[in-house]
Amino acid sequence: MNALDTATPRGDQRRTALLGALDALLQDSTLEAINISEISRRAGVTRSAFYFYFENKAAAVAALMEQMYDDTAAAAAHLTGEGTPQERIEATIRGLFASWDRHEHLCRATLEARASSPAVRELWDADRESFVPVVAAMIEAERAAGRAPGGVPAPTLASVLLELNDRMLERVALGGPLGREELVEGVVAVWLRSIYGRTS
């Protein structure tokens, strides 16, 4: 992504307009079907202005992904909140689904862009990995308090569980044999079993 951090206020407005235009177009179309001229026209800027901020459509989608990060962080905060392990983990998983519901068109576009853009793939992976220390700290705290047994290193377990969440969201996007509640129940059970050695 080559958005310029030193852009002028007017430039910031143009960048925001381009992202808003792309976001609006994605609500009714796929990333593949949208062209840069259409994004630029809707934003009220020239095609060359688009390339001033973004290398390609995938880079623009990567910029939009930043909007989902706060929602994911809010969901992860449930892990160290009040309640039983099951309540906290289920609240986290349901929070991820709620974020999906708010940004469904963007999530689908991100998955599409990730398949063809190393930059988007790297950003997606970096966002996921940024939560590894959060989950690992929770696991270590539960072990230290005697509520969870020891086992594989907490960062390793955290990384695997976050990969599972990724797969769950991909399955929501692509469809599959399991409904939403079945996915929630299954993922929560895996988290509980992996961290606590039990499912309740």
pLDDT tens per residue across span 160-177 = 999 999 888 888 877 788
Q: Is the pLDDT of residue 117 over 90?
A: no
Who's near 180: CB < 8 A, 6+ residues apart? 97, 172
pLDDT at residue 7, rounded to an integer: 43
Establish how many alpha carbons lie within 13 A of residue 73's alpha carbon, considering only the half-sphere containing its beta carbon: 7
Q: How confident is the model at residue 92 (pLDDT cuts 50, 70, 90)?
A: very high
Task: Kindly report the pTM of this predicted structure.
Answer: 0.77
Q: Among 5-19, 128-142, 160-174, 183-197, whose mean pLDDT is lowest?
A: 5-19
d(CA 55, CA 59): 6
pLDDT at 46: 93
Token code pair at residue 180: 């939403």
User: For helices 36-43 and 9-26, what crossing angle results, to 10°?
Assistant: 120
Between 17-26, 95-104, 182-191, the lowest mean confidence (pLDDT) is in 95-104
Locate tokens 């808003």: which residue? 20
Task: Select, from the ranges 10-14, 72-76, 187-191, the one with the highest average predicted confidence (pLDDT).
Answer: 187-191
